[in-house]
Chain A
Amino acid sequence: DAKTTQPTSMDCAEGRAANLPCNHSTISGNEYVYWYRQIHSQGPQYIIHGLKNNETNEMASLIITEDRKSSTLILPHATLRDTAVYYCIVRFPGYSSASKIIFGSGTRLSIRP
Chain B
Amino acid sequence: EAEVAQSPRYKITEKSQAVAFWCDPISGHATLYWYRQILGQGPELLVQFQDESVVDDSQLPKDRFSAERLKGVDSTLKIQPAELGDSAMYLCASSLVDRASDTQYFGPGTRLTVL
Contact = CB atoms under 8 A, between A and B. Distances in A.
B91 A43 contact: yes
B14 interface: no
Main secondary structure of the interface of A (DSSP, over half): loop
Interface string A18-47: 000000000000000000000001111110
A46 B103 contact: yes
B108 A95 contact: no
Contacts of A96: 55
Contacts of A50: none
Given A43-B108, A96-B55, A104 B42 contact: yes
Interface residues of A, number: 21
B93 interface: yes
Given A45-B106, A46-B105, A95-B55, 12 more contacts: A42-B109, A43-B4, A43-B91, A43-B93, A44-B104, A46-B104, A95-B31, A95-B97, A95-B102, A99-B102, A100-B48, A104-B42
